[in-house]
Structure 1
């Protein structure tokens, strides 16, 4: 074939034909990513990857130019079919397809799938699919051979392969271990057809296996000893709302000058606002492993060997629900999904591949209402928000874009920092709407109900002139990373009870790593493992060092009280608190 190619007349490279080939293959992967990027629904990384990796499919067309159109038709048809789930998912949700969607697909039965299609398949969607296929067909008609002289086709094809698929594949070779390299390779091809489905399914099976191991271990844990429920015969709904990346110092409920929490401010007389609670770690998974279990900074692995708060409530006879707007089946979030799968019912709302996606927490309100309407007399509902997670501009809809200028912003915030600073406050403003709406919905149910809201950790967003940090770093801790809101609302039927009068406890220094003890005390539960000295509302409360830091590096643990109010750690005189038992 190469010899036959050499006998053909040469007029140089047909760049237009090469461009049509590339556009055809890019269209199949790129059109969905283009729409996502153009509508500001997601960052540009996925769109960029489609441009890079779509060129790989030029290789067989250049090696066999005489059959270029036939090869393009077969490859294009297969790729188009593989791209339909992502395209359809975008039409329905305006979001990116991910392994989380694959998780839900495989966890759904036939009846659920039929109900899903009947509910979401609009009349215009088949027309959109037809137009999408028509576009691919019109581009395919433009395909024509590109002949390269001599062995140039082999050399050019090799270079294209290295420049496209070979570029992310380098991680398989130049990394510390194949597993790490494979993860990085998958990250870089996960937006492009057909790798999107392949990577999604592979990651789904991996995370499912890890989750099943964790769930199996959890199921073998012995029940809590001598569990006694003071309200055993009383109906009621108990709600735990987990926020994300929300620093209480940016909430007007806690004295911030901008009105970022007007709805919670208006109901303040109904709330117990604890103002001295900190998180043990500034990362979601690591923090919640302690917050939701008996683990703490001195026993960080106890989340693997002790019951969780969901186990506790199930043992107490509550029907349990988990409603989450966090990502589900990702390597990073396997532990979160494991916690959620311990509940009787789960609602997964966020199936995006990336966090930098417009996924609004208001979506939790409808499934929350459905959970409240469930006929079970005793319910425990966990609502896990995406809160004020970076990137902040994706956390609130347009009508909550309230803070746009310097009014109310500190003078040290630079012009470059101001948009980000304002976006965070707008995210807090929308979070106020969501949390207050959850309280209002629970209040309208008229039962013996309780809601506790806290954030997993805070976030530094240019909070002081001494520190212009953005984000979180355990190696460089500042106050905003650890100060979290901790708010309790109780219904009228709680009035006069111990749990409804918290005035003496609002300022106690407390680590959310001990939440399970406070939660048990709030809800009238006692058991062998319960320690009232670790309950924020107990008369037996005992003040301890409020430890923060990496518990696997005990010498790095410090007492949070040694962090200066404006956000800087007192590094010169900080006292290291060893991870020895503190009674």
Structure 2
């Protein structure tokens, strides 16, 4: 009785976002009623079967409590942000740091979790479990599992037509079934991670070596790769957005030295997928968006003999920088740049010359590749992503509960983060230009965001929607490139030509090969067809 009562509560109250979604479908009253009944029984039976599997003395109440709390948290985030719970979202949860958790905390979250989880936790802990022999428990649990699965089968058969149509046309619904979504996603994640830990690191580009341009160079190249965070192309002034979100970059573009790539797309809809995919030798279709235990672009550059440095102002490099020198800015406490446990992105420029000087001298003399991982437009606390004097768009949303804010205030807060990225990239370009003019390096920059963001369109907020049905706001990302005259000469890549081709589609698939081509690194893994700059190389 304890199992079935708890299953009923979870299936009803714990799945209110699911029922709200189904009630909003355009169907006749009769069709909707059949669909709700079939789905309700399926969720109820599946939850009862899962709880019956766990119904053992000493562990049941603890595990059931965890499931209830997971259900409550899932419900809140699905309700507030229209999030769905799949394996990539679960991976994001596992890699969430304290700063991200802090941004998500609110009184509404606390109240919502208490309302959903409170009665269920009382039900679980109201009295001790009855003690029986192991065979009695085994028999009772087995019956519960069989009956639960029978209810699932019966509901699927009875409502097959409506359920099959729903799963084909509303694919996101399958990730809203609470807490079965979390159990399934966790299982997939574990299955992916276990073989990864057991595998030997796969080598990439073992034949990598520097090309002919290095033989008689008087100064080495220095390329800065900026991995943007949560910037969407729709709010990028250079892409035609009517608000001045990138006025400094617009000046660089007017001067003729900056190229804006207006048709860039991401490999994933969250950092956990997109960041490794950006640096992977594999395209998305080849599996670049899947967990892999293999070397990446930075390993190949380092093997060729270049100095490589990762500077992180985010929540880590997701394994990309594990084998190269890397710096985390979270420990810094620079006045005017850091506060509240995080730093403005411009902190990555501060002291950068000294960080480069600390790299291996022989490698540094050949050339340097820097990767800057931004805090960027990381939500939902957009208002924390810019300093007090960088708020050109007012009034702005000052809440992490995005649905509480008027749409125009939410957009203002987000656009302020894009303006902050504009200021950071301007600082980076000024620094690179100075090194080029001083004759220290032939310099260049490539900026590309890891994924986009939803700001309430179709009821969606944040990001992380499964790629197959993700909205364009989460996959269409900004990208810019800048090459000093010296780097244009040594690489043969002409900025004017890139401008003429800047509206052609590019994606994260191109970054690996574009950087190898630009830095003149020779290896068999380089694919000229994926080098976005190659058509402009003489």
Q: Which residue of 1 aligns with 2:477?
A: 484
Residue 403 of structure 1, aligned match among 393, 400, 412: 393
- Stretch deviating more after TM superposition (231-240 or 434-443): 231-240
Matched, 1:470 2:461: yes
The CA deviation at 1:214 is 6.3
Q: Which residue of 2 aligns with 1:575?
A: none
CA distance in structure 1 between the partners assigned to 2:533 and 2:514 by the alignment: 7
Residue 523 of structure 1, aligned match among 507, 519, 522: 519
Alignment of 1:309-348 (within 5 A): 309-328=297-316, 336-343=317-324, 345-348=325-328
CA RMSD of aligned residues (A): 4.1
SS of 2:446's equivalent in the other structure is strand
CA distance in structure 2 between the partners assigned to 1:177 and 1:281 by the alignment: 20
CA distance in structure 2 between the partners assigned to 1:222 and 1:260 by the alignment: 39
Q: Deviations over 1:177-223 (max 9, x none)?
A: 9999999xxxxxxxxxxxxxxxxxxxxxx9xxx89x769943x6264
Contact 2:252 2:258 in 1 (8 A): yes
Contact 1:372 1:442 in 2 (8 A): no
SS of 1:449's equivalent in the other structure is strand
The CA deviation at 1:306 is 4.5
Matched, 1:438 2:428: yes
Contact 2:443 2:486 in 1 (8 A): yes
CA distance in structure 1 between the partners assigned to 2:391 and 2:226 by the alignment: 24
Q: Which residue of 2 aligns with 1:229?
A: 211
Contact 2:314 2:373 in 1 (8 A): yes
CA distance in structure 2 between the partners assigned to 1:368 and 1:515 by the alignment: 23
The CA deviation at 1:325 is 0.9
Matched, 1:264 2:249: yes
* 1:176 to 1:460, Cα distance in 2 relative to 1, 3 A: closer
CA distance in structure 2 between the partners assigned to 1:41 and 1:361 by the alignment: 19
Contact 1:264 1:432 in 2 (8 A): yes
CA distance in structure 1 between the partners assigned to 2:106 and 2:385 by the alignment: 19
Q: Which residue of 1 aligns with 2:235?
A: 250
Alignment of 1:387-426 (within 5 A): 387-391=376-380, 392-405=382-395, 416-426=406-416
* 1:214 to 1:46, Cα distance in 2 relative to 1, 3 A: farther
Contact 1:508 1:536 in 2 (8 A): no
* 1:519 to 1:226, Cα distance in 2 relative to 1, 3 A: closer
CA distance in structure 2 between the partners assigned to 1:422 and 1:442 by the alignment: 30
The CA deviation at 1:440 is 1.1
Contact 2:494 2:536 in 1 (8 A): no
* 1:257 to 1:214, Cα distance in 2 relative to 1, 3 A: farther
Contact 1:241 1:385 in 2 (8 A): yes
CA distance in structure 1 between the partners assigned to 2:261 and 2:198 by the alignment: 33
Q: Deviations over 1:224-246 (max 9, x none)?
A: 33645233343121111100110
Alignment of 1:91-490 (within 5 A): 217-218=200-201, 221=203, 223-225=205-207, 227-233=209-215, 234=217, 235-268=220-253, 269-300=256-287, 304=292, 306-328=294-316, 336-343=317-324, 345-350=325-330, 359-374=343-358, 376-377=364-365, 378-391=367-380, 392-405=382-395, 416-446=406-436, 447-462=441-456, 467-472=458-463, 473-474=465-466, 476-490=469-483
Larger Cα-atom Rg: 1
Structure in which a larger fraction of residues adopt helix: 2
Q: Deviations over 1:311-333 (max 9, x none)?
A: 111012111111001113xxxxx
Alignment of 1:68-107 (within 5 A): none
CA distance in structure 1 between the partners assigned to 2:386 and 2:293 by the alignment: 38
Higher relative contact order (CA 8 A, sep 6+): 2
Contact 2:275 2:318 in 1 (8 A): no
CA distance in structure 2 between the partners assigned to 1:42 and 1:414 by the alignment: 15
SS of 2:321's equivalent in the other structure is helix
Contact 1:459 1:481 in 2 (8 A): yes
Segments of 5+ residues of structure 1 without an aligned counterpart are 1-36, 53-158, 164-173, 184-205, 329-335, 407-412, 542-583
Contact 2:210 2:521 in 1 (8 A): yes
Q: What is the aligned residue count?
A: 340
Q: Deviations over 1:525-557 (max 9, x none)?
A: 23211111111122399xxxxxxxxxxxxxxxx
CA distance in structure 2 between the partners assigned to 1:422 and 1:529 by the alignment: 43
SS of 1:275's equivalent in the other structure is strand
Alignment of 1:552-571 (within 5 A): none
* 1:295 to 1:285, Cα distance in 2 relative to 1, 3 A: farther
Contact 1:460 1:481 in 2 (8 A): yes
CA distance in structure 1 between the partners assigned to 2:184 and 2:348 by the alignment: 34
Contact 2:311 2:370 in 1 (8 A): yes
Q: Deviations over 1:357-410 (max 9, x none)?
A: 75422221224343344452221111100111112112111111221159xxxx
Segments of 5+ residues of structure 2 without an aligned counterpart are 1-97, 114-121, 127-177, 333-339, 397-402
Contact 1:294 1:306 in 2 (8 A): no
Q: Which residue of 1 aligns with 2:73?
A: none
Contact 2:208 2:521 in 1 (8 A): no
CA distance in structure 2 between the partners assigned to 1:381 and 1:481 by the alignment: 26
* 1:381 to 1:415, Cα distance in 2 relative to 1, 3 A: closer
Contact 1:237 1:450 in 2 (8 A): yes
